[in-house]
Chain A
């Protein structure tokens, strides 16, 4: 408030030339006009920003929903990956309370079970439709874009109806999430009216008639409910996705979300077939396994019919575009090396060091800690990925390979999943930096990473927070959560 007063005081002195007599009546009139103008502008803004309450409804009878609609809603909720943010690992599904760190402060996800007091049990379908389309809750309060309504706005009324039916037939859970921890002015929800004016492009989705039906289905799922761009597109300083850099790579829960456009760092370029296989199974022989927040995504997408997976793959592959001649030739070379390498290694297993490697401090570490799986004879998914194929080793930022080496890949309970031991207790920061430098030099043509030891130290200490969860149902998470920091926050 003090700052505001000072500004007005300065404005006043600028408007009244020094040394002139001020007529008090004229000055008061002048002030009154200014005040009225301010009020008019404020009222105008308020009128634009104001969203009314939608009347609460009495308890909705779960049996009133059509079974097919609920089943359709379950698939759509899987596309939206709703459960990942709206569930604290180990706690009841959809009951909210997960801490979502943002550059502006911490936001806690809401309870979207049909509990009337702490959840959305008294929301009408109209209120749910409005939340998805406009990012406003039943009471008329603006929701923060941590809830990706800038993507969900594209969802059709019919699909929102199915999602509503699915959520309203879940088990109601009485649980109120903690208060958001946001400093002024971000704690003022009204400022989101301005954010929405700038960054919310209201839906629903409009198909591109020049494209196939499958492409449009994929675009609808990927850009809308799937909200791929929420992680895979970089954000500007207002926290909005930067649409000029669509799918150019972003960040999620301490993990790098790789570029999935023409700048994808995958050594063998993705195509629609490999994408579909990966989204369906959570791994691909030329690309490795999904992990970090993407493991939840591929875990959820397993619920989708093949045609929807194929549609998403077709759309994303078209955004990536056809690789150029150089990348295609390199890919063929890599594929040939892999098939030769597997035969050669079968004959002489374990230590896959080359002449001259002995000088590199990372070479011996690699040979005893990594080569057993990653240069062994077993193909994926039973063996590890050859690092010449690894997007992590070829990516511009080493964060993901740091996360995996430090914390490993925790196994899922009772189902097949990727697994890797954690090396945090074996390697110190410099040893890990040596190892990663060796892998980069040996398995990538990209320039060396810089300041890796420092990055390892910050990731290990939790100063840089990384959420580490198994690939399976997030409800069973906490015993498998390995990282300090983010994951612990999530349990609190």
Chain B
């Protein structure tokens, strides 16, 4: 079937079997390789992307339902030259060991921070409940997400201060 996909603000026209999971289209057709194939069963979170502002597991998300919906992947958070606050914070805190889970972690964190820029550790743990990391960098991931929240607040702070 022909389908029009909106990914990171760009529209892509593709022709796929409607039974294909979104992850395969992102990686194979659009060559957006941030989202990873981990378990393929929606259990590890490595494939997490954002659809209409909510975290979804793209390996079990039917691409046939994505027409007209707004999809965001790590590629949409910033560029190598200008990393977004989450990307900058993960680099600053050296939150990646092997790094395979990190794009999924970042997308879950992105959804959380857009709703709440100052989450408690409890809230971060809840939001990342379905994102598994086997290397054990959890403490750095927590630190990176707290730092990203700070960076986001700093970015929006001057106008707010003036207003206050």
List the interface of chain A (C-beta within 8 A of B).
Answer: 351, 353, 363-365, 367-370, 372-373, 376, 410-411, 419-421, 423, 425-428, 431, 479-480
Q: How far is the CA of A249 from the CA of B122 in the complex (A)?
A: 38
Given the known interface contacts A365-B65, A425-B51, the answer about A420 and B18 at a Cβ–Cβ threshold of 8 Å is no
Q: Is the CB of A426 within 8 A of B125?
A: no
What residues of A have a CB within 8 angstroms of the CB of B43 in the complex?
419, 421
Q: Is the CB of A365 within 8 A of B62?
A: yes
Given the known interface contacts A410-B129, A479-B126, the answer about A372 and B41 at a Cβ–Cβ threshold of 8 Å is yes
Chain B interface, number of residues (Cβ within 8 angstroms): 26
* A-B residue pair count with CB separations less than 8 angstroms: 66
Given the known interface contacts A353-B19, A479-B125, the answer about A425 and B56 at a Cβ–Cβ threshold of 8 Å is yes
Interface of B is mostly: mixed
In chain B, positions 36-71 with a C-beta closer than 8 Å to chain A are 40-43, 51-52, 54-57, 59-65
Going nearest first, the 6 A-B pairs with the smallest beta carbon separation are A367-B19, A421-B42, A364-B18, A425-B54, A368-B62, A479-B126
Q: How far is the CA of A420 from the CA of B18 in the complex (A)?
A: 22
Residue of A nearest to B18 (CB): A364
Query: Is B21 located at the chain interface by the 8 A CB criterion?
Result: yes
What residues of A have a CB within 8 angstroms of the CB of B18 in the complex?
364, 368
What residues of A have a CB within 8 angstroms of the CB of B42 in the complex?
372-373, 420-421
Residue of B nearest to A481 (CB): B126
Q: What would be 19 A-B contacts, judged by CB atoms less than 8 Å apart?
A: A364-B62, A368-B21, A368-B64, A370-B60, A372-B59, A372-B60, A373-B42, A410-B129, A411-B129, A421-B43, A421-B57, A421-B60, A423-B60, A425-B51, A425-B52, A425-B54, A426-B56, A426-B61, A427-B65
- B32 CB to nearest chain A CB (Å): 18
Given the known interface contacts A365-B64, A431-B65, the answer about A426 and B19 at a Cβ–Cβ threshold of 8 Å is no
What residues of B have a CB within 8 angstroms of the CB of A426 in the complex?
51, 56, 60-62, 65
Q: How far is the CA of A339 from the CA of B130 in the complex (A)?
A: 31
Query: Is B11 located at the chain interface by the 8 A CB criterion?
Result: no
Residue of B nearest to A435 (CB): B62
User: What sequence of 0s and 1s flags, for each residue 7-28 of chain B, a beta carbon within 8 Å of any chain A beta carbon?
Assistant: 0000000000011110000000
Which interface residue of B55, B57, B60, B130 has the most chain A CB atoms within 10 A?
B60
What residues of A have a CB within 8 angstroms of the CB of B21 in the complex?
368-369, 372
Q: Is the CB of A368 within 8 A of B126?
A: no
